Amino acid sequence: MSRADTRTTPAPQARHVLSPPAELRLAFDDNKLASEVFGQYDQNIAKIEHRLGVIASASGNHVVIKGPAEACGRARRVFESLYERVRQGQAITLGDVDGTIAEIGLQGTLFPAGEPEGARVHFDQIATRKRGGVRARNLAQDTYLKLLKRHELVFAEGPAGTGKTWLAVGQAVSLLEQGVVDRLILSRPAVEAGERLGFLPGDMREKVDPYLRPVYDALYDFMDGRAVERGMQTGMIEVAPLAFMRGRTLTRAIVLLDEAQNTTSMQMKMFLTRLGEGSRMIVTGDPSQIDLPPGQKSGLVEAVRLLSGVEGIGHVRFSGADVVRHDLVRRIVAAYEGAGNPPERNAAGS
């Protein structure tokens, strides 16, 4: 009996516990592109094997897939989808492999009896000059990107590693490059310094840099370093501490408020009412990591509750299952979610 015949673990998305064994052979046109699909030391193949419960072996531009028939069919579609992406000049990471598997899994759910012609489901994407097309990696991210394109104000809640801030920055850069907006404004509450930024050395940008470093990292992912520096100098890209937003009216701007769980009710109301003509706002945060003093309400939690159902406002909530940063991060978040949040943080965010 072959090795494939003895494997009993079905694909995570399989609809049946048992499926007849199968063997599929794929041949790609370009050896170089095929090697990019397989990944360095075949790491992408290993990811597909682990996620779909199949055994795949590659040689040159060929790959042989063995395992349950349904899982083999999904693996084939994953390989073909990844090949199409590299053929279009897009790089592939392990996260992209995860996203493609999730995308193919959704297609199988929607069309269990076979995929109708032209009915393929594709996750939404954003495009920037530096990175090209960046596609959502799971259904939550797909929903997020659709909301960002449809609404002027979007709230995104969820744990670390779900892509809340990264995708928000990508969408902001995309709108800036398309000329939909004229400015990109980045803001974040400096809770750790108690908003007393004057005690930190340097000018205003140097004072808030430590608090906005994650946003900067995302910004440099989507824009060339020289373009970022030029944007900072001309005011096209602005770093504005939350405490300094009061009294402003922001027109034709995309405004991102990160770590919003650490805003107070008054700060959040002040921020949201800065929205001017032709502007968009994205508010991201993790309600499970509130650093406000015990007993103080989180502006993010309150805003989501008060504004639920208001026309023109989008809201997406990510869970630990949506973590795309690293498999271990997903398991860490799941462990904390399973243990529950500390009582004092629940009180602060209620």
Q: Could you give the angle at the alpha carbon of 290 between the alpha carbons of 305 and 260, nearest 5°?
A: 60
- Percentages helix, strand, coil for the chain, rounded to the nearest 5? 50, 15, 35
Exposure letters 112-144 (e unless 16+ CB within 10 A, then b): eeeeeeeeebebebbebeebeebbbbbbbbbbb
Residue 185: enclosing H or E segment and its boundaries?
Answer: strand 183-187
The pLDDT of residue 107 is 67
Kind of pairing, strands 153-157 and 183-187?
unpaired
- Structural tokens at position 46: 């290993």
Q: Could you give the angle at the alpha carbon of 245 between the alpha carbons of 239 and 247, nearest 5°?
A: 145
Which residues are within 8 A (CB) of 227 and not within 5 positions of it... i.e. 6 or more apart? Answer: none
Nearest-angstrom CA–CA distance, 49 and 64: 12
Q: DSSP H helical segments within the chain, as ranges?
A: 31-38, 43-52, 69-87, 94-110, 139-150, 164-178, 204-222, 225-234, 265-272, 299-307, 327-339, 343-349
Distance in Å from the first CA to the final CA of the chain? 59
Question: Please, what is the average pLDDT of the chain?
Answer: 81
Q: Is 25 exposed, middle or buried (0-12, 13-18, 19+ CB in 10 A)?
A: exposed
The pLDDT of residue 258 is 92
The pLDDT of residue 14 is 39
Q: Are 317 and 158 in contact (CB under 8 A)?
A: yes
- Structural tokens at position 248: 């402003």
Residue 25 phi, psi dihedral angles, 5° rounding: -125, 130
Residue 3 phi, psi dihedral angles, 5° rounding: -60, -40
Nearest-angstrom CA–CA distance, 31 and 27: 9
Residue 155 phi, psi dihedral angles, 5° rounding: -100, 135
pTM score, whole prediction: 0.72
The pLDDT of residue 124 is 85
- Structural tokens at position 235: 């005011």
Q: Is 88 exposed, middle or buried (0-12, 13-18, 19+ CB in 10 A)?
A: exposed
Sign of CA dihedral 184, 323, 125, 41: positive
Nearest-angstrom CA–CA distance, 145 and 163: 11
Q: Which domains does the chain have, with CATH numbers?
A: 4-122 (3.30.1370.10), 126-349 (3.40.50.300)
How is the beta sheet containing 153-157 ordered, strand by strand? 237-239, 183-187, 253-257, 280-285, 153-157, 313-317
Give the model confidence (pLDDT) of 127-186 as tens digits.
Answer: 888 888 888 888 889 899 999 999 999 999 998 888 999 999 999 999 999 999 999 999
Nearest-angstrom CA–CA distance, 100 and 107: 11
Instruction: Look at residues 177, 189, 171, 206 and name the one whose alpha carbon lies nearest to residue 282.
Output: 171
Task: Please name the residue that has the structure tokens 């744990």.
Answer: 159
Q: Is 148 exposed, middle or buried (0-12, 13-18, 19+ CB in 10 A)?
A: buried
The pLDDT of residue 138 is 84
pLDDT per residue rounded down to tens, the chain (350 residues): 334 343 444 444 434 344 568 888 999 998 899 999 999 889 999 989 988 999 999 998 899 999 998 889 889 989 998 998 888 887 888 888 888 888 887 765 444 444 544 445 578 889 888 888 888 888 889 899 999 999 999 999 998 888 999 999 999 999 999 999 999 999 888 655 444 445 555 665 665 666 677 788 889 999 999 999 999 899 999 987 787 888 888 899 999 999 999 999 999 999 999 999 999 999 999 998 888 888 889 999 999 999 988 999 999 999 887 887 766 776 787 787 777 654 444 433 43
